[in-house]
Amino acid sequence: MPDEQALMQALNSTPVVDGRRQDLWFDDHEVDRWAREHGGLGGGAERRWLRTARDALQAVESGTSAESRLRRVLAGVRKVPRPSDSGVEWHVQVPPERRLAVELVLVWSDVKERLPGRLRPCENSECRLFLLDRSRANSARWCSMKTCGNRLKARRHQARARDTPRHE
């Protein structure tokens, strides 16, 4: 089953490289590899559902409505309790090709509930990555301080230097 790390891998599978948007899941083999790493089987139907779920979650986190796509992924899904030695375990009942996509949406929902306001897009408008802010102050703004944070700080510094009148 996917976890927070898998969720972030899925959300961040469309980075901007050298100014151009890439889709790491465009390659079927890459999606199948990711799926197998997280308990999936791979295959065309599973890939389509994973891409639909990923695109919907990216849209929602970027402030765009994706309710119809999420509704399609979650249509007919049931969570069924089963007693176990440790209590109750919940199992998702869904067609096998959709299971991993549904679990990805459920992990996202769990993160949104447990860590409200902490999953968000990078503040660099040229970046397409997302971050899960674990800082105490909930103040992280960039996917990476090394890349986006430093880049934006350098741009602001250069802009201030240009705007500051020189005294001769």
pLDDT-based confidence at residue 163 (cuts at 50, 70, 90)? low
Give me the phi and psi of 62, to 5 degrees please: -95, 0
Task: Check residue 160 and give its pLDDT.
Answer: 61
Q: pLDDT tens digits for 27-59?
A: 999 999 999 999 999 999 999 999 999 999 999
| Largest CA-CA distance found in the chain, in angstroms, rounded | 80
Q: What percent of the chain has pLDDT over 70?
A: 86
| CA-wise closest residue to 6 among 106, 116, 141 | 106
Q: pLDDT tens digits for 4-29?
A: 999 999 999 999 888 899 999 999 99
Task: Check residue 17 and give its pLDDT.
Answer: 86
Measured CA distances, 114 to 36, 39, 111, 134, 136 (Å): 27, 24, 5, 12, 14
Q: How far apart are CA 144 and CA 1, in angstroms?
A: 26
Task: Check residue 126 and give its pLDDT.
Answer: 84
Q: Bigger pLDDT: 157 or 92? A: 92
- The domains of the chain, with CATH numbers, are 4-163 (1.10.3300.10)
Tokens describing residue 51: 């891409």
Q: What percent of the chain has pLDDT over 90?
A: 71
Please give the mean pLDDT across all residues of the chain: 89
Tokens describing residue 69: 């796509």
Placement of tokens 């959300």 in the chain:
11
Contact 51, 80 (CB under 8 A): no
